[in-house]
Structure 1
Amino acid sequence: MSNAPSLPPCSVDDWDDSRRRQRLRNTRTGHHWVRFGRLRRALARTAIAALPLVALFTQYWAWDVAPVRERLALTQPQLHPVYDAASREDRDTAVVDLVGLGNLDATDTATALPALRELGQVWAVEYDNSGLDTAVVSRLIQERAAWSGIENIVLTGHSMGGIIALEVAQHLYQDTTLEVTGVILDCTPLDLHAVRGDARDAGEDLLRWIGWLPGARESRSMRMLVEIAARKDRFVVPSDRGYRRIDSEELRNVAVEVLHDKVLSTDAASNGLIESQFRAIVASGAIDNLRALNDRREDKIRPAVVFLRPRNPLADNVVDVEYSHRILIDQSGGVEGTLLVSKLPRTGHANPVQAPESYNDAIVRRVVPFVDSRPGEAEDEEQSPNDDLLDDERGGVQPIMDLDRITPG
């Protein structure tokens, strides 16, 4: 028998619900853990408060990220024919055009440069919109050249596309039987220091957001925010009171422009591609590529390297073309090098679509004769310094006689 004292019987009048609840609290597991009880209550409140955020994230993933991810999984790089060669003799040469940061397809840019027909057939590269792989681009060019009878390749890269062009050129020059007769760089930043501060900050912001926000590589809303922020100089304006204010009308115009051109357009580069492109600038091996292209090989000529830039360096608000200019001079091999620099009037940053006349004129009068002259190098190892040309300030052509006396700009 139990030794516990017997309790008197309870009547209905003895019932107290508050006493019942107090008894439950006093007898449940962990009732004496005061801190645990507080933590448990805090976690419960947090979970309830987080429910709207979870619902919002679910909608973000279902409507913003997942559809784009599915579409990008089906993309792949392509080569689009743009022009046939101007002359029958040049049909064994292909000019391959590559665009820069934030762009997907070089077709429109190549179409604006019919002068490239003077070098050979013109092809435009469309990147894989899910990312960038120069080995895949190189293999694509090699395979197209094999079944179309192409023996010579000229690579043209606009802005960041020049970094890709140099890497592809090195692969084709060293590892294939194709002759790389030239590489044309249009306002190319040869390393991250050549990118002006505002443009560099926008790219770094994108990488930072992509690094911590799930789904940011595919998110259209994320792209919207980054693209609008990159255009803040258009709607953040100084006020009469000395501080900056937001021009709501211009902000609306920017938002509509970004929505139309960068978010809803199927031709726009994805966040993932932009990330890959910017990382290519950050990790650029362009200087190593230039050195490799400048090394003599017994079975091949050294490719001509052409740098197109605005005559006024401040007209390029994205790339410090003077900085890239100096690097190219250092890596061109001195007076026996392979460099032609052409300073174009009335141009900005890698904008052949906006200034086709200046670009096409420079290609016909300067670039084509220079690239066509390179095959003679294989027969004449003792190349004259007068064969290497550099555009002067007036846009004419003068021989490089003394590299030490050449100053950019």
Structure 2
Amino acid sequence: MANSINDSYQDFPILDQKVNGERLAYLDNAATAQKPQQVIDSLVHFYEHDNANVHRGVHTLAERATEQYEAARTKVQHFINAKNHNEIIFTKGCTDGLNLVAATYGEQNIHEGDEIVITIMEHHSNLIPWQQLAIKKHATLKYIELTPEGTLDMEDAKRKITDRTKIVSVAHASNVLGTVNPLKELAKIAHEHGAVIVGDGAQSVPHMPVDVQDLDVDFYAFSGHKMMSPTGIGVLYGKADLLRAMPPYQYGGEMINTVHRDETTFADIPFKFEAGTQNIAGAIALGTAVDYLEEIGMENVEKKEQEIVDYVLPKLEALPYITVYGPQDPAQHTGVIAFNMDNLHPHDVATALDAEGVAVRAGHHCAQPLMEALGVSATTRASFYFYNSKKDADQLINAIKATKEFFNGGTI
């Protein structure tokens, strides 16, 4: 492992390359994070030495695979400070976890006339499941709006969350605005009205310390690939009493206790929600990613990203042809920065930046209602992680200036 967080990029082999003849500045971390050699090695090691199904066999490989799989569950439990390891369910990703809650707890508890409250800044993964559930159940879906500064309007939240509200589901951090939402305060409001709260942790768990017991969330979902593990693995945390009362999400092997011709009894949590062969290698590699992040320290991850935002956000805001969305104060901003360049489509900007070796994302970022609220169809998004540096930030700024000069025919 690298000697310090400032040279951690050395652990990421993919970053040591040139793109279009330029050094790679990978700034698409909100979409997916790169993988350190340690995570890659753990994936390869499993397939080379321990590949077997879990919980089913008594032979040596099966026992080793099971031990590592369940060890990863315990690592995740401690990483987010869940009360018990059985409150950790392995999923395909954050989207899968949110759909699981909507299809089980939501199906059980939402009835005609009930309310579901989300925010206008939600990723489609935390919007469409609730939208479709509300349509199916003849319930009302309500949106908490934004302040002019791009933060969540908490006065509006207090108006929207009522005694008819049964579920509140909120992104802990926005994948567009870089806003961190006051999830603990929202949980308190929700519980005062008898509602449960669901947290979308896709943009928070990889970037800051998260304590689900302190937040007092009822459910909390996140993806592994955004925190350096392979794709196809994620986590749903749920309070044990709620999980036990919910029906299974899928049916098949592994999630049963007994099966007879006319009836089935289901396993206890978490296995009730892990039907079939899971992404065993992905879960083990997720455990390795947790080890890596804990060795660095999540406080240090958050501090490093804040230093980069403190450095780059004022530089972006100083460019007269750039509009930045979300909080203008770097202290209120994660490493996700969405912006537009005057008279240029975000896809053209992203293509031009790629020519300079800078990888960013352009589009609606699976947040079309937010784009409508902002009055745009799309944005360009640069998103930083702890392995990025001020050198990457400078490369972004210089590439933006070069793009402006190119499209202006040589003048800025």
Higher helix share: 1
Q: TM-score, normalised by structure 2?
A: 0.27
| Structure having greater relative contact order (Cα 8 Å, sep ≥ 6) | 2
Task: Give 1 or 2 for the bigger CA radius of gyration.
Answer: 1
